[in-house]
Amino acid sequence: MITGMNHTGFVVRDLDASVHFYRDIVGLEIVRTMEREGAPISQVIGYENTHLKGTILSTGDGHSLELIQYINPAASERPTDERNVLGASHLAFNVDDIEKTFERLVSNGARRLNPPATMQPGRKACYMQDPDGNWIELIEASE
């Protein structure tokens, strides 16, 4: 039986650059870093001779973001940036000022889709991509 949610994982091109974005721009804190290679991680991931580096970050609310850079096999480019393809995913953040957060992230490397929109009274949301194309949603709920 599932007992809770653990983390969300994003594959990134450059772990240091992505840690900078999520720690210094988004505001998450590093929980731990790791480097894994050999038979156990190869079995979990399903590639022979897997070698990866990763960093776990969090806001401290119990859910975390795992950033993974594949050393072997190297990551390949995403075939599409469309949001409606099977397997597409996103990570949503609660924010207190969506316009300010949106502009800060975009001015620091995030790719905008559309500006924040009012979904219903007291609730605004928007989608954007991190520098590697992973989808992020911002949600401001005042009620």
Burial class (CB in 10 A: 0-12, 13-18, 19+), 74: exposed
Question: What pTM does this model have?
Answer: 0.89
Bridge partners (DSSP) listed for residue 111: 129
Residue 111: pLDDT over 80: yes
| SS3 of residue 63 by DSSP | coil
* Average pLDDT rounded to a whole number, residues 76-104: 87
Give pLDDT tens digits for 95-110.
999 999 999 999 999 9
Burial of 2 (0-12, 13-18, 19+ CB in 10 A): exposed
Could you give the percent of the chain with pLDDT greater than 70?
A: 98
CA distances in angstroms from 13 to 41, 42, 69, 88, 91, listed in the order given: 19, 19, 6, 18, 18
The answer to whether residue 32 scores a pLDDT higher than 90 is: yes
| DSSP 3-state percent helix, strand, coil across the chain (nearest 5) | 20, 40, 40
All structural domains of the chain, each given as residue ranges with its CATH number in brackets, are: 7-72 (3.10.180.10), 90-141 (3.10.180.10)
